[in-house]
Amino acid sequence: MREGPISLMQLGQSDWLSWIFFIMFIMMMQFYASRLQAQIWISEISRALSKLEEYSNDSARKFVEEASKYGRSQDEIRTMFEKVRGFFLIEPVTLDPYGAIKRMEHLLNVMRSHLNATMMEIAPKADGWKRSNLRDQMAGALTLDMIYRIIRHYFILGRKTQNLIYIAQIQMLLPEIMRIAKAYWKAGDAFRLGIPIGDGIGPLVALRLIGNAEPSEIAENILGAEVEIEGRKVMVVKAKGPGSEVGRPGLAIERLVEGREGKVSLIVTIDAASKLEGEPTAEIAEGIGAAIGDPGPEKYKIEEVATKYGIPLHAIVIKEDHLDAITSMGEEIARSADEVIKRVKAIIGSKTMPGDFVIVAGIGNTMGVGNKMGGA
Amino acid sequence: MSDGKKKVPYGFYIIWVLSLAGILIISTVFLYLGLSNLKEITGESFLNIIMGIAGLGIAAKVGYDMFKARISLKEEAFEVLTELLCVICGEKILREFKEGDYVGKVSEDVCPKCQSSPSIVAIYSRTPKGKEKRY
C-alpha cells in the first residue's frame, strides 16, 4: 500500500472489505439493474404524462373559452364537452368484406351529422364557418385527451406490475408521441383562428385555379367552378371554405362524371402526402391514382367511376410531415402552390386535347381558404 | 403566435442539479486520489482514475439531459403572416394574420400605392430566424 493523504480503499483498513463492497455492488446491480432502469423510465414517462395532461387541459380550456363566445356559458359547454369525451367510431366488420365501404360511408355520415348536431348545441349562435372550425378544434382536444388516457394506462399498468416491457414500449415511443401531442396542441390555435393548415394545399391550388370564376355546390360541402385551361374545359373542385371542411370530393367527382355520362378525359387529384424522413418539405411528386387520404369511401368512389368509364387518374402530391398537415401551413408549402399549378397545366396539356373536359380536385381541409378570389 | 407562460417544474431541476453536483464532487475526489499517486502506479490509483473519468462522463450525460429537458419545455415561437396582392397595381403587402382573414378575401387594408383594396393571396406561418425547429 502506498502512503497518501487520503485513500478510499484504506477506509476499511484492509483490502478484503473493499472486495466485499465491490462484490455486493455487483450483486445489487445484477438483481436491481432492471428495476433501476424501470424507475428511470417511469420517471421519464411521469414527466411526459404531466406535459400531456397540460396539453390536453389547455386545449380543452381554449375550446370552452372560444365556444362560449357563441351562445352558451362556459359551464354549460364544459358539461357538454365532458359528455363528448371518449367519443369513438366503431369500424365496420371486415370478416365478410362485402359492402364494407358502403357500411363505412354510412357510419362516417352518421358521425358527421352527430358531431355537427353536437356543435349546433354547443355553439348555437356561431355561423357555419365558425361552427366547423370549432368542431375540429374540439376533435383536436378529444384526440389529446385520448393520447393522455392511453399513456396514463400504460404508465399505471407498468408501475403496478413493474413489467419492464410495458414501460419500455411507452418510453421508447415517447419522443414521437410527444411530437404528435404537441402538433395537436398547436393545431388548436390554427382551428381557433381559422388559419390554413398544411393539409389545405390542395384547396389552395384549386382556389388559385378557380380565380374569379363563380363556384356552385356539387355535393355536400363541395364546390366546383368551370374554368378554361389551355383550351380545355376544366371543372375545378374543392371543399366549401373558408371553414374547416373536407367535404365529399368522391361523391362530387362521381356526380360530375355520371352527369356527363363518362365524357371526361382526365381526373387530376391534388393532395398533401406524408413525406419520408430526409425528403424536403413541400417536394412535389406526380403519380397515378386518386390522391386522397380519407378512410376509404371517397377514394373508392373516384376509383370506381374512373374505372367504369376508363378515365385516366393522375395525382399530384405535396410532401409534408404528417404533423405539418394539421398545424398552420408553412411558408414553403404555401409557396409550392405556383409550381403545382404549372404541373397541373402541363399534365392537362400533354394528356388531353383542346375542347376536352377535365376534372381537377384540390383535396384536403379548406380552413382559411375561400371559394373564389375576391369573395367568399 | 404568442405562447402562454408554462409552469416549469423547479423541484425536478433542483434534484437534477444536486445529483450533478454530487457526482462531480465524488468523481473529482477519485481523480485527485488517482492522479496524486501517478509516480507509483498501483491498481488502486488506476481504479481511482477510471472511476473519476467515469464519474465525469456521467456528470456530462446528466448535464446534457438536463439541458435537453429545458429545451423541450420551451415552446417555440412562430408568426403567422397574411400576404396581400393588389390586383390593380400588383403591389405585394405582408402583414400579421388577423382573425377573419382567409385566402381569396378582399381585405379591408388599403394598397399603399393606389389606395385600392388588395386581396389575400396566401396565409402561412414562419418561424423567426434562428428558431427554425418547429416541433
Q: Residue A21 has what pLDDT?
A: 72
A52, A31 Cβ separation under 8 angstroms: no
Residues B64 and B115 in one domain: no
- Percent share of chain B, pLDDT over 90: 20
Residues A121 and A261 in one domain: no
Mean pLDDT in residue range A319-345: 93
Q: Is it the case that residue B13 has pLDDT exceeding 60?
A: yes
Residues B57 and B16 in one domain: yes
Question: Strand A284-288 to strand A357-362: parallel, antiparallel, or no bridges (unpaired)?
Answer: unpaired
Residue A268 falls inside a structural domain: yes
Q: DSSP assignment of chain B, as one string? A: -PPPPPP--HHHHHHHHHHHHHHHHHHHHHHHHHHTTGGG--HHHHHHHHHHHHHHHHHHHHHHHHHHHHHHHSPPP-EEEEEEE-TTT--EEEEE--TT--BTPBPS---TTT--PPEEEEEEEEPPTT-----
Q: What's the full length of chain A, in residues?
A: 376
- SS3 (DSSP) at A47: helix
Residue A371 falls inside a structural domain: no
- Taking CB atoms and an 8 Å cutoff, what residues of chain A touch B66? none
Question: Strand A357-362 to strand A232-239: parallel, antiparallel, or no bridges (unpaired)?
Answer: parallel
**Which range among A164-178, A264-278, B31-45 has the greatest average pLDDT?**
A264-278
Q: Which of B44, B73, B102 is the last residue of a domain?
A: B73
A356 touches chain B (CB under 8 A): no
A204 touches chain B (CB under 8 A): yes
Residue A367 falls inside a structural domain: no
Range with lowest mean pLDDT among A201-215, B20-34, B38-52 = B38-52
Mean pLDDT in residue range A22-51: 81
Q: Which of A174, A193, A212 is the last residue of a domain?
A: A193
Residues A103 and A215 in one domain: no
Q: Residue A14 has what pLDDT?
A: 53
- Percent share of chain A, pLDDT over 70: 95
Q: Is it the case that residue A245 has pLDDT exceeding 70?
A: yes
**Which range among A169-173, A347-351, B57-61, B66-70 has the greatest average pLDDT?**
A347-351
Q: Which of A178, A193, A208 is the last residue of a domain?
A: A193
Residue B79's pLDDT band, with cuts at 50, 70 and 90, is: confident
Site of grid cell 374569379: A212
Q: Which of B30, B49, B73 is the last residue of a domain?
A: B73
- The domain in which residue B84 lies consists of 79-126
Residues A140 and A111 in one domain: yes
Residue B3's pLDDT band, with cuts at 50, 70 and 90, is: very low
**Residues B125, A328: C-beta atoms closer than 8 Å:** yes
Q: Residue A2 has what pLDDT?
A: 47
Q: Which of A193, A217, A248 is the last residue of a domain?
A: A193
Residue A111 falls inside a structural domain: yes
Question: Strand A313-320 to strand A266-274: parallel, antiparallel, or no bridges (unpaired)?
Answer: parallel
Residue B114 falls inside a structural domain: yes
Residues B18 and B54 in one domain: yes
Residues B49 and B104 in one domain: no
- Percent share of chain A, pLDDT over 90: 70
Residues B29 and B14 in one domain: yes
Provide the CATH number for the domain around residue A321: 3.40.50.1470
Residues A69 and A43 in one domain: yes
pLDDT tens for residues A52-81? 999 999 999 999 999 999 989 999 999 999
What is the spatial order of strands in the sheet that B92-96 belongs to? Answer: B92-96, B79-85, B119-126
Q: DSSP assignment of A230-282, as one string? A: TTEEEEEEEE--SSS----HHHHHHHHHHHTTT---EEEEEEEEEPPTTSPTT
Q: Residue B74 has what pLDDT?
A: 54
Distances (CA, A) of B37 to A12, A299, B23, B40: 19, 77, 22, 6
Q: Is it the case that residue B135 has pLDDT exceeding 70?
A: no
**Residues B102, A182: C-beta atoms closer than 8 Å:** no
B48, A8 Cβ separation under 8 angstroms: yes
A36, A167 Cβ separation under 8 angstroms: no
Most A CBs within 10 Å, among B46, B125, B127, B131, to test the A interface: B125
Comparing A306 with A11, the larger pLDDT belongs to A306
Mean pLDDT in residue range A211-240: 94
Comparing B61 with A269, the larger pLDDT belongs to A269
A184, A60 Cβ separation under 8 angstroms: no
Q: Is it the case that residue A148 has pLDDT exceeding 90?
A: yes
Q: Residue A138 has what pLDDT?
A: 94
A125: amino acid identity, one letter: K
A272 touches chain B (CB under 8 A): no
Provide the 8-state DSSP code for A226: E
Residues B61 and B27 in one domain: yes
The total domain count for chain A is 2
Q: Residue B31 has what pLDDT?
A: 85
- Taking CB atoms and an 8 Å cutoff, what residues of chain A touch B102? 194, 196, 241-242, 368-370
Q: Residue B5 has what pLDDT?
A: 44
Residues B54 and B24 in one domain: yes
d(CA B18, CA B21): 5
Most A CBs within 10 Å, among B84, B124, B132, to test the A interface: B124
Residue B52 falls inside a structural domain: yes
Bridge partners (DSSP) listed for residue A18 = none
- The domain in which residue A108 lies consists of 39-193
A94, A154 Cβ separation under 8 angstroms: no
Q: Which of B36, B51, B73 is the last residue of a domain?
A: B73
Bridge partners (DSSP) listed for residue A22 = none
A207, A333, A334 ranked by CB distance to B104: nearest: A207
d(CA B47, CA B28): 13
Label residues A69-86 b or e (16+ Cβ within 10 Å = b): ebebeeeebbebbeebee
Most B CBs within 10 Å, among A61, A209, A329, to test the B interface: A329
Residues B97 and B122 in one domain: yes
Distance from CA of B122 to the nearest CA of A (A): 7
| Chain A residue nearest residue B123, CA to CA | A196
d(CA B65, CA A128): 47
Range with lowest mean pLDDT among A90-99, A120-129, A239-248, B69-78 = B69-78
Residues 44-63 of chain A whose Cβ lies under 8 A from any Cβ of chain B? 47, 50-51, 54
Residue A227's pLDDT band, with cuts at 50, 70 and 90, is: very high
Q: Is it the case that residue A220 has pLDDT exceeding 60?
A: yes
Residue B121 falls inside a structural domain: yes
Residues A303 and A242 in one domain: yes
Residue B5 falls inside a structural domain: no
pLDDT tens for residues A256-292? 999 999 999 999 999 999 999 899 999 999 999 999 9
